[in-house]
Amino acid sequence: MTKRWKHRPPGSTWGDWGEDDELGRINLLTPEKVLQGVREVEHGVSFSLSLPLDYPGGSALNQRRYPPILRPTEDMQYKQDTFYNVIARESIAPSLIDVWSDDVVTLWLQYSTQWDALAHQGAEFDADGDGVAEPVYYNGFRPGVDIIGPREDAKEDGSGSLSFARHLGLEHMAAHGVQGRGVLVDLGHHLGTEWQPVNLKTLQEIMAADNVVVEPGDMLLLHTGFATQVLAWGKNPDPVAIQATAAYLDSHDPALLDWIADSQISALVADNYAVEGLVRDRNKEPHTLLPIHHLCLFKLGVPLGELWYLHELAAWLRDHERSRFLLTAPPLRLPGVQGSPLTPVATV
């Protein structure tokens, strides 16, 4: 029993790795799991699994998220309007031959290829046992107390008091390294790019057809072809089609949710927008909009990867009748973030 909660959600992993655990099932990426991944390397061929981070383009996919804004840094005394290609002999000393460029970027951290942090989605749940549901995140961390609060450098007058995630930020995953065995299921090869739900029956049929086996601690990747289409749109996506392209996990299939929990995967990744489909049901009882996010981020501590680029890896694996590889996928080591871009690498 932890200090933060008396009750944990049924089927959750809260407390399994200690009351202060912030990694969830990333804890399953043990040294032995890393070695299992290394043993899959036979050809020394590496694949980048990231989209260019200025894709998908525009804000049609999510109106709260925008492409990166890249600009040069400011040089306060430099006389020109542009701050790229600063000529040292003009700005510092005539004897210098250096030319410098330096830049800064504004990133919406979940715009493109990304990890969702465990701080990205919580739920209202009666963790303290008083009969009233309160907002809470994985392992009982509480918003306003443990999760979202004032910065440590906030001043008494309120300045500098931007909120951030005190706990469950992705810096913990980054420090861990996130390296181990990845396993890919090629949904796109079997189903095409039609927008459709994938229940457990369909998933297992595809896995059996391709001889795919998932074991505890594996990172599971789903290739649907969505990111391939995103690249084809050239940063000008069809605003209708981008909401209804390629397969997604059927989060309203209870058997699929049970399988995700029982499989003991350490991470769940897809090349589509949210792994699951954004499909509302008509249930009038209290429920989650995103059952797989709720299960993975809130209950199990399984990070979700979204908008990864899996086309070339999937093709290579199919040509070589393989599904496993070494995966290295740390997020940015930026404390307190609820999501992070990354450049994952698969090595075969």
Query: Each residue of 2-33: pLDDT tens digit?
Result: 578 999 999 999 999 999 999 999 999 999 99
Q: Are residues 287 and 272 located together in one domain of the fold? A: yes
Domain end position, chosen among 79, 106, 133: 106
Lowest mean pLDDT among 32-46, 268-282, 320-334: 268-282
Residues 45 and 128 both lie in one domain: yes
Residue 190 tokens read as 């079997």
Q: Which of 106, 133, 160 is the last residue of a domain?
A: 106
Paired tokens of 207: 């896995």
Band of pLDDT at residue 81, cut at 50, 70 and 90: low
20-31 burial, b for 16+ CB within 10 Å, e for fewer?
A: ebbbbbbbbbee
> Quick one: pLDDT at residue 328?
98
Shared domain check, 164 and 90: no
Band the pLDDT of 82: cuts 50, 70, 90. low
In a domain, 302, yes or no: yes
Asked if 54 and 189 sit in the same domain, the reply is yes
Residues 199 and 264 occupy one common structural domain: yes
Please check whether residues 216 and 277 belong to one and the same domain: yes
Q: How high is the mean pLDDT of the chain?
A: 91
- 18 is a domain residue: no
3-class secondary-structure state, position 15: coil
Type of residue numbered 253: D
Other beta carbons within 10 angstroms of residue 40's beta carbon come to: 18
**Number of structural domains found in the chain:** 2
Are residues 339 and 279 located together in one domain of the fold? yes
For range 124-150, the mean pLDDT: 87
Query: Is 269 found in the same domain as 317?
Result: yes
Domain with 88 in it = 69-106
Peptide bond into 330 cis (omega under 30): no
